Chains A and B, each alone.
Chain A
Amino acid sequence: MHRHFGSRLSPCAILAIVSMSATRVAVASSLRSPQTSIFSPVSTPASDIYHLSLLVLAICAAIFLVVFSLLLYAVVKYRRRPSDDDREPPQIYGSDQVEIAWTVIPVLIVVVLFLAAARVIHAIEDAQFPPGVLEVTAVGHQFWWEYQYPGYGFVTANELHVPVSEPGHPTPTHIILLSADTDHSFWVPKLAGKTDLIPNRRNEMWIDPHEVGTYLGQCAQYCGIEHAKMLLTVDVQSRDDFESWAQAQKAPAAVSDQVAAGRHVFETTACVNCHTIAGTAAHGKFGPDLTHLMSRRTIAAGVAENSKENLRLWITNPDDIKPGALMPAMQLPKQDIDSLVAYLTSLN
């Protein structure tokens, strides 16, 4: 009556299963180094999450080890052997005691997880800010970031600058998140978890980076054709450096007669409809503020280095750098592009 459908679990099968589990452990150690890893936090929200994640991972690893071992044990121990007779094994229909045990234990684990998660939710979402908090408004656009510093009265784009927050003198940054068009999400893994920017909604988050440095991330909510190239850069500076950067940003745009031709091109073409350069006729809000363009290391939301060549390429045909970017190719004569690039590179 019974047929033998391969009655042994082959050793190679066991080996495959064991090596797969081993790989999981091995890769875990390589996660701390890269610059966007969630396991190397430098800011309180990210490190609170990191510590919670260690607890959750430990619990899950323990459950995995126990249950997977039981599965392996059952598969090996209760496999049908060639020496078996044709008799059916004892027919067991269930056991209330066992069912209660494997209901109660998971319930207890769930309660622990809930309490641990709720504590961190409260710590991050309901945090009280000290007086020195920096207020920034981040506005998501297809496909770049606008940063407003209402306390200082200036606007910049794509590279967020914040002061370092020292334990003795905390200066966290409180970020209001708005969207000008579709959904976006602000995610710099080393600084905090992500929070969405949703049109018609005011979200907020905060960071208090403990170490000076540049932290990377990118938009984490699909926002259209160039979602992939909506990168985030956060420059964490010493308080003095941040203060001098902010003062420089407040200043009006550099004026130089040498680049008057380029300025004329800028002010007399459609550039002004989308871009602002403080102190000129350009007051557009649709694209990034260019008042201090050259204070930024990158263009096109972190995609290309901010160099003369890239600026020229970008103005000539934005699609070459970021296909689908909303800036049109302006079809300017080469001479105009030359003077425009000269003007833009003067905007320190």
Chain B
Amino acid sequence: MFDAQPLSPPIVVTPELESAKPLFDRVHEWVVTVDHKRLGLMYFCYGIVFLVIGGIEASIMRAQLSVANNHLVSPETFNQMFTMHGTTMIFFAAMPIVFGFANYLMPLMVGARDMAFPRLNAWSFWMSALGGIILYFSFVGGSGLYGAGSAPNVGWFAYAPLTSRAFSVGHSTDYWIVGILVSGFGSVGTALNVLTTILAMRCPGMTLRRMPLFAWLNSVMAVLVFLALGPLTAAQLMLLIDRYLGGHFFDTQAGGSAVIWMHFFWIFGHPEVYVLVVPAFAIVSEVVPVFSRKPIFGYSVMVAATVAIGFISMGVWAHHMFTIGMTSYGNAFFVASTAAIAVPTGIKIFNWLGTMWGGKIRFAVPMLFCIAFLGQFLIAGLTGIMLSAAPFNWQLSGSYFVIAHFHYVIVGAIIFAVFAGSYYWYPKVTGRMLDEKLGKWHFWVFLIGFHLTFDFMHIPGLLGMPRRIYTYQPDRGWDIWNLIVSTGVIFQAAGVAVWAFNVVRSYFKGKVAGNDPWDAWTLEWSTSSPPPVYNFATLPVVRSRRPLWDLKHPEDPDWKYE
């Protein structure tokens, strides 16, 4: 039924710098755009800006903790820093960045001309942007605890009753609630758009079984956003009712329940981890095959494992609450469900290894980041298994070991995958390659910084150092480890600076990429770099998961085997 009809004719476009139009017109075009590529880029850049802001907040904390009994910042400021760092990185850095990838790439990968709902797409982005602005307005508006500042200081999971008006005077907590609430609407809009695009906009011939894994994984992400953000939004509305309408959901002084907040928050919070990490898996699942020169190993198993992770992730939330005094049966259940998630996760790691096995691995920068991802995600998974054993968790929970564990996931896996994706798709987006040499500097410097910071961060946790303390006693044996951890921050910052320099410099001076610089196989590489507004002159028709492989190897096409 579907012939191997040629895809869009290859056009080589040299990137133009669009300097002809007046500045106002160019800015105006971006503000009113409904083009998924521009919105994707805006999501990505917005996320990167907040990644830097969140990084600065982390650096302030690390400077404070580098020696015992330090007085660099006040306890109040420190508490605001960790609250803002966590909130920013999850809601305003990581989520916009993964949404940016999905937005830019999804229509291109499924052979569509735009997202299903372009206007909703723009609305979603601007809602997310508004949320971030509201959160950061707290630094200048309202009044906080003790009037010492106004940014939220209740921690990113904002446990009750610290958020009640008795303990959180002024409006700092309200900024936290409203900022996330507003950006949450944007997240749901984007999830709806991504899922609908995948379900309804695929090009002729692209059955569900022929979609790139990137599309499968992002559809799981979208479903998790639907399931996770509802409870969070509900909880935040209840908290607002408590704070302003005399409700007592979480107001323990009037008989409310602090534990119910924890349940609501973590029913959101755990799937949220997968909202972020599944799109990272999606990037790795595209990069590893191309640089190993083999198709993804066990495609259907990868899909099944991801869907399984999505399902199980809805039933593990209380492993964040092993210390709240659940019954032994409750604890045992959540040990079982949490440990079970290791199985599909392990399957994914093995399948990536299986993809590399027997290949011809090219160590270009995207692949370097993916190899580091594999090693680091393995370690993150193993510390996750340690944390899943409830009794062990009673020691580790709330300590720096947990911080090290989830930064291994978020930085070691997600951020490394984001960097891999940035090197991989930059030529598609700009028409120019990122510089390989600078890329390798970025990789090695950031890798060293990452391991200095987050390897050694496990140790003070094992030595009894709790999280969220602005200072610590000098006699606990934590000093040296904290100093090493803080030193790593310098390397990480340097690595990101090299990356930023590379991104800007290559935009003007990078090698011209052409349509398909990596000899890749998915549809985005069949159109020009950067793609035209309409993406494809003629809609492609595909017969397998690797349409460009079929085109390049007519003697041995994939559709014979799938």
A residues whose Cβ falls under 8 Å from a Cβ of B: 1-9, 13, 16-17, 20, 23-24, 27, 31, 33-39, 46, 48-49, 52-53, 56-57, 59-60, 63-64, 67-68, 70-71, 74-75, 78-80, 84, 88-95, 98-99, 102-103, 106-107, 109-110, 113-114, 116-118, 120-122, 124-126, 177, 181-183, 185, 187, 189, 192-196, 198-201, 203-204, 216-229, 231, 323-324
Contact = CB atoms under 8 A, between A and B. Distances in A.
B395 A49 contact: yes
A99 B301 contact: yes
Interface stretch (B50-58, B108-116, B459-467): B459-467
B361 A228 contact: no
B224 interface: no
A110 B155 CA distance: 32
Contacts of B455: 20, 23-24
B464 A125 contact: no
B263 interface: no
Contacts, number: 320
In the A-B complex, the 3 residue pairs with the smallest Cβ-Cβ separation, listed nearest first, are: A193-B394, A36-B464, A5-B364
A102 B375 contact: no
B95 interface: no
A117 B334 CA distance: 11
A52 B394 CA distance: 12
12 contacts: A4-B362, A5-B436, A16-B444, A48-B391, A49-B392, A60-B386, A63-B382, A93-B295, A99-B298, A117-B332, A181-B161, A198-B258
B266 interface: no
Contact of B353 (A17, A70, A89, A323): A70
Interface in B263-313: 292-295, 297-301
A6 B325 contact: no
Given A201-B258, A228-B470, A194 B394 contact: yes
Contact of A31 (B76, B398, B462): B462
Given A126-B328, A194-B395, A227-B468, A102 B347 contact: yes
A196 B459 contact: no
Contacts of A80: 293, 360-363
B76 A221 contact: no
Contacts of B339: 110, 113-114, 117
A229 B69 CA distance: 11
B325 A31 contact: no
Interface string B346-381: 110111011011111111110100010011001100
B469 interface: yes
B89 interface: no
A103 B347 contact: yes
Nearest to B321: A196
Contacts of A204: 325
Interface of B: 74-76, 79, 145-146, 153, 155, 159, 161-162, 167, 252-253, 255-259, 292-295, 297-301, 323-325, 327-328, 331-332, 335-336, 339-340, 342-343, 346-347, 349-351, 353-354, 356-365, 367, 371, 374-375, 378-379, 382-383, 385-386, 388-399, 436, 440, 444, 447-448, 451, 455-456, 459, 462-473, 475-477, 517, 519, 553, 556, 558, 561-562
A52 to B, nearest CB: 5
A36 B79 contact: no
B466 A64 contact: no
Nearest to B360: A80
A222 B389 contact: no
A103 B363 CA distance: 29
A324 to B, nearest CB: 6
A304 to B, nearest CB: 11
Given A33-B477, A70-B353, A78-B292, 9 more contacts: A9-B363, A37-B464, A74-B357, A92-B354, A93-B298, A177-B325, A198-B252, A203-B325, A228-B471
Contacts of B385: 56, 59-60, 113
Nearest to B163: A182
A334 to B, nearest CB: 27
A6 B440 contact: yes
A17 B375 CA distance: 10
Contacts of B561: 91, 93
Given A187-B398, A225-B75, A78 B353 contact: no
Contact of A323 (B75, B258, B343): B75
Nearest to B401: A38
B75 A324 contact: yes
A347 to B, nearest CB: 26
Contact of B323 (A181, A194, A222): A194
A222 B159 contact: yes
Contact of B354 (A8, A94, A124, A225): A94
A203 to B, nearest CB: 4
Contacts of B389: 52-53, 56, 113, 116-117, 120
A88 B325 CA distance: 57
A107 B359 CA distance: 28
Nearest to B553: A88
Nearest to B383: A60
A223 B462 CA distance: 21
B406 to A, nearest CB: 16
B357 A78 contact: yes
Contacts of B477: 33-37
Contacts of B255: 200
Nearest to A194: B323
Nearest to B461: A38
B323 A196 contact: yes
B395 to A, nearest CB: 4
Contacts of B155: 222
A228 B359 CA distance: 52
Most chain B C-beta atoms within 10 Å of own C-beta, residue among A4, A84, A95, A187: A187
A35 B475 CA distance: 9
B364 A6 contact: yes
B301 to A, nearest CB: 5
A92 B398 contact: no
Contacts of B395: 38, 46, 49, 53, 189, 193-194
A4 B360 CA distance: 11
Given A23-B455, A221-B398, A323 B74 contact: yes
A177 B125 CA distance: 46
A46 B375 CA distance: 31
A90 to B, nearest CB: 6
A149 to B, nearest CB: 21
Given A200-B258, A228-B469, A323-B74, A52 B391 contact: yes
B332 A121 contact: yes
B366 to A, nearest CB: 9
B410 to A, nearest CB: 19
Contacts of B470: 228
